[in-house]
Amino acid sequence: MDYLQTKRVKSLSGTINISGAKNASLPLIAMTILAKNSVNIKNLPHVADIKTLLKLLSNLGATYDFKDDKAIVDTQKISQTKATYDIVKTMRASILVLGPILARFGHCEVSMPGGCAIGQRPVDLHLKALEQMGAHIDIKAGYIEATAPNGLKGCDIIFDKITVTGTANIIMAASLAKGRTVITNAAREPEVVQLCEVLNDSGVQIDGIGTAILTIHGTAGELVNIKEFSVIPDRIEAGTYLCAGAITKSTITIQNVNASHLGSVLAKLEEMGSSFTITENSITIHPSEVIKPVKIVTQEYPAFPTDMQAQFLALATQADGVSIIEEKLFENRFMHVSELQRMGADISLNSHTATVNGKSKLSGTDVMATDLRASSALVLAGLVADGETNIHRIYHLDRGYDALEKKLEGVGADIVRLKE
């Protein structure tokens, strides 16, 4: 099993190229199930979750060719409609095949999903919406069995709470449904916006893109011709490397990035003392010698993303003063706190709120990654900790970061991947 070893670095400098967004790529790959042609996808990141979903499609009968950052996915010969436990257990996003397979074939079985243990992320909102569209749903032996022998029908759906994967799943299901589907309280994340834009560009009329009310005009079962597209830059990867610049007080540039997707992250970094030079596709961070404390509340886009909470918590350990970080989306997303405490961080937890007393002198030690974003938080802490920090269980990290240690090494970090 691999682990990362980091050592304290005086400063970083240089440029990091941002990969395509994992959280955009997954629904876009699932979307190819709706296509009547082979689909060319550019700017795909080489991360474990992408490979897992492509393997799942292959098990269903699809073919794919994934080289460099480009993939050709052909789902025209899909013959199976069951997504088995052995793959789905490793990645919650596997549930994204439920909507498009059901819409195309009228039947789908998907194992109940797994993934990071950051809290309850029930799929009941997905299932309730599909039932409104005419599907019959049974839960048997750990599998979701969905049937719609007469096809799905458009209807009005109101999500009780905002759900990103739920919104994506129903957008795809509605694309092949009969009639019009209106989704109210839809997620507005850039990853959902791109899914809508690609489908809209491929002949599925979608109104309200980027808003909380989406109207999808279904094709009544007719598969669509999906044009070549390029995955948007990964805003969470970009935010992580900006935090690397801030915590090490280094000027670094990130390229292939859309600053408009990072509004809340840039705003909080500015509160903490950093400034930026922003171009059409790059951001250069100019950090402050004194990191200021901050108050953060995680919420749905366009508010502060839960996927950046762990990285900012690591950054807050180096702030001069008390930072308050409230996690409103996932109840178990502070598992990295105990590992940061092992390094010397002064953090107290009260329910869903972390109080970080900075500035802490961190010391390198052995720590364990507990989920994807916690992994990157431990890497950030290791950049400023005395001695060696060994970060174990980085298979979590590999689910969502493309060559993180190589990118950080390229700007001067002392970080290597080793074998246990």
Cite the active site residues: 116
Q: Which is it for strands 63-67 and 180-184: parallel, antiparallel or unpaired? A: unpaired
Q: In the numeric block, which tokens belong to residue 21? A: 């967004």
* Rounded CA separation 316/320 (Å): 8
Strand order across the beta sheet in which 275-278 lies:
14-17, 252-255, 282-286, 275-278
Q: Are 382 and 371 in contact (CB under 8 A)?
A: no
Residue closest to 155 by CA, chosen among 137, 142, 173, 136: 173
SS3 category, 27? helix
Which secondary structure element, helix H or strand E, spans residue 39, and what is its range?
A: strand 39-42
Which secondary structure element, helix H or strand E, spans residue 170, and what is its range?
A: helix 164-175
Strand order across the beta sheet in which 39-42 lies:
63-67, 70-74, 39-42, 229-230
Q: Which residues lie across from 17 on neighbouring strands?
A: 255
345 contact partners, CB below 8 Å, separation of at least 6: 317, 337, 356, 360, 362, 381
Q: In the numeric block, which tokens belong to residue 146? A: 């969905």
388 contact partners, CB below 8 Å, separation of at least 6: 5, 6, 7, 364
Residues counted in the chain = 420
Q: Is 279 exposed, middle or buried (0-12, 13-18, 19+ CB in 10 A)?
A: exposed
* Rounded CA separation 243/201 (Å): 35
Q: Are 219 and 104 in contact (CB under 8 A)?
A: no
Q: Packing angle between helix 190-201 and helix 164-175, nearest 10 degrees?
A: 10
Strand order across the beta sheet in which 414-419 lies:
366-368, 388-392, 2-7, 414-419
Q: In the numeric block, which tokens belong to residue 341? A: 């405490």
